[in-house]
Amino acid sequence: MSTARSYDEKELLQQVAAGSEQAFGELIARHAGLLHAFLLKLTRDPAQSDELVQDTFLKIWMAREWLGQVQHFRAYLFTISRNLAVNLLRKSVRERLRHTQWAAELQPEPDENPDAWKWKLFDEAVGQLPPRQQKVWIMARREGKKYQQIAEELGLSRETVKKYLQFASVAINRYISDHPEMYALFIIALAEL
């Protein structure tokens, strides 16, 4: 009986290699359940396992011309799926590490205000401004001084102060939008105010 099944499988692989979508559907029907169970043991996530089953069969379909040369299809199938699962798990670990590092960078120092992390990106953006723009921006936005008062203190015209603030706002917005990993948190922080 196993000889007949083995022959059926070889014939099926030949048909898939020739481009038969019906044969490919049969191949999926024969192996998808077992493959899903295998991947579920690796990932412990049914949704990820479903996705990996699809990715595995997609990869097989994309390289179907070589199926006629495959001697042990089940080993071939499980090797592809295991490699995809390992890559997915590695990516997940890298993302978690990145998230952990990112969260650690956002944590305030013990003597800092607990909400200080929310303004970290904003402060970095202000720190990137040219010295005069930075000074004008801090005096206007943080110290609440009027344009005329800033102009008098710095020996500038009121219009120059206004232009510096416009340039600073554009530069700050650009800096924040260039850091999408922090931008979402910044927007959330602003919404909480």
Q: How far is it, in rounded angstroms, from Cα 126 to Cα 113?
A: 19
Q: What is the pTM of this model?
A: 0.50
Same domain membership, residue 133 and residue 84: no
Same domain membership, residue 91 and residue 185: no
At residue 191, the pLDDT reads 47
Summarised one tens digit per residue, pLDDT across range 104-131 is 665 555 555 555 555 677 788 888 888 9
Same domain membership, residue 180 and residue 142: yes
Mean pLDDT of 44-68: 92
Mean pLDDT of 128-142: 88
Say how many domains are in the chain.
2
Q: Which residues contact 145 (CB under 8 A, 6 or more apart)?
A: 139, 153
Same domain membership, residue 112 and residue 96: no
Same domain membership, residue 91 and residue 11: yes
Same domain membership, residue 100 and residue 9: yes
Same domain membership, residue 112 and residue 55: no
Q: Which of the residue ranges 18-27, 56-65, 81-90, 101-110 would you say has the lowest mean pLDDT?
A: 101-110
Q: Which residues contact 17 (CB under 8 A, 6 or more apart)?
A: 64, 65, 66, 67, 68
The residue among 84, 105, 126 that closes a domain is 105
Same domain membership, residue 186 and residue 112: yes
CATH of the domain at 151: 1.10.10.10
Q: Is the pLDDT of residue 175 over 50?
A: yes
Domain enclosing residue 97, as ranges? 2-105
At residue 91, the pLDDT reads 82
Distance (Å) of CA 113 to CA 7, 24, 108, 188: 72, 61, 7, 18
